[in-house]
Amino acid sequence: MSLRQRNPHWREAQRPEDAPALWQRVTHAAQSCSVLRALAALQAASPAEVEEAQRCASLGLIVPAIRAAGARKTKTSAPPSELLAFVELALQRGFSPDASCPQIMAWEISSPPLVTAAAYGYDAVCALLLRGGASPEARNSDGDTALHAVEHPHVLRLLLGAPGFRALVGAQNNWSLTPLVSALTASPFKAKHLEAAHLLASTSACEISDRDHFVLSARRRLPRLAQLAHELAQQSGRSKLPACALSWHAAWHWSFPTSDREAVNMLCAHARRAASGLPLELWEAILGCIHRGWFTPKFQEPDPTELVARAQRVIGRHRPQPGGTVVRL
């Protein structure tokens, strides 16, 4: 299968030199990490060149400029003024705020402007794109949304205050990781990741699924989740909390996986109806002894011996003869 067939980004431009002239000039400037040259190219573009670039929807014009600025970014640097001017001019000239662009050296990796700006920590660029109509549901080729930018809590604070983002707190990427799980499994784990986890977990839409629990358990990150749940409960003004959040408590019910929450809800509902024969207070004391994953079904890990046997069967179907000819068994 050719690269053109594998990658949808090559359908309109099989080679970079086949791309629109304006896109080539902007990308060439971006490869030199010069946002000023990219801005000058956009300012000098004729209406015909702008229209040609807009027709090629699979090659967005804004992303190369963001990457060029990000290549020179330091830990504390804000987006350069020329980048803000470029994004604003591109939106004024009718370029889409959602048009993805592949990387020049790896065309299978593609990202929309909002996700790219969030990944670099450019909150001012994100604000410009949102005002220009960027979609909160935009994803890159890994399935990451802008909320997966857990390295930059200030960007998450901006996004969570915008319409449409709180409903995406539980969105999974191609690796089944939500933004919260991405923050808790970050390595090395820093204060900024804990701050990002606080912001994400503070939304009402944040819940832990059975899959999330499996990932956190497999990576031995459940203590981080317990720490987060306990800190959020303390911040909410709860009193008489247990010393740690490893066991169930109503204050961190949200942090237990889906199966656990459903089982607890069912038992408490029976207790309220006096159908269980035990008062609700006693049930809460009993449930306070269970840990996360108590009622959660275990994910089946592949058996190593079965994997070896499967590989041997595949090899056996294509065993070569002494003469070198491959025969099927």
Each residue's pLDDT tens digit, 263-280: 999 888 888 877 666 788
Looking at residues 148-160, what average pLDDT do you find? 95
Q: First and final CA of the chain: distance in angstroms? A: 27
Domain borders along the chain are: 1-134
pLDDT higher at 192 or 109: 192
Q: Among 80-94, 139-153, 279-293, which stretch is predicted with the lowest mean pLDDT?
A: 279-293
- The alpha-carbon radius of gyration of the chain (Å, integer) is 26
Q: Residue 94 carries which DSSP code? A: T
Within 8 A by CB and 6+ apart from 303, the residues are none
H or E segment to which residue 101 belongs: strand 101-102
The dihedral region occupied by 248, where left means phi > 0, alpha psi between -120 and 50, and beta the remainder, is beta
Confidence of residue 328 (pLDDT cuts 50, 70, 90): very low
Rounded alpha-carbon distances, angstroms, from residue 221 to 40, 111, 224 = 48, 29, 5
Q: DSSP of 215-229, one letter per residue?
A: HHHHTT-HHHHHHHH
Confidence of residue 329 (pLDDT cuts 50, 70, 90): very low
Q: What are phi and psi of 125, to 5 degrees?
A: -70, -40
Within 8 A by CB and 6+ apart from 3, the residues are 10, 14, 107
> What is the pLDDT, as a whole number, of residue 311?
64
Q: What are phi and psi of 291, to 5 degrees?
A: -105, 170
Q: DSSP of 271-299, one letter per residue?
A: HHTT-SSS-HHHHHHHHTTPBTTSSSPPP
Task: Give the distance from CA 32 to its chain's centroid.
Answer: 28
> What is the pLDDT, as a whole number, of residue 278?
75
* Contact status, residue 97 vs residue 143, Cβ threshold 8 Å: no
> What is the pLDDT, as a whole number, of residue 151?
94
Q: Which fold has domain 1-134?
A: 1.25.40
Task: Using the predicted structure, report yes or no on whether residue 75 has a pLDDT greater than 70.
Answer: no
* Contact status, residue 51 vs residue 93, Cβ threshold 8 Å: no
Q: What does the alpha-carbon distance between residue 284 and residue 230 come to, in Å, rounded to a whole number?
A: 17
Instruction: Give me the chain's average pLDDT, please.
Output: 85
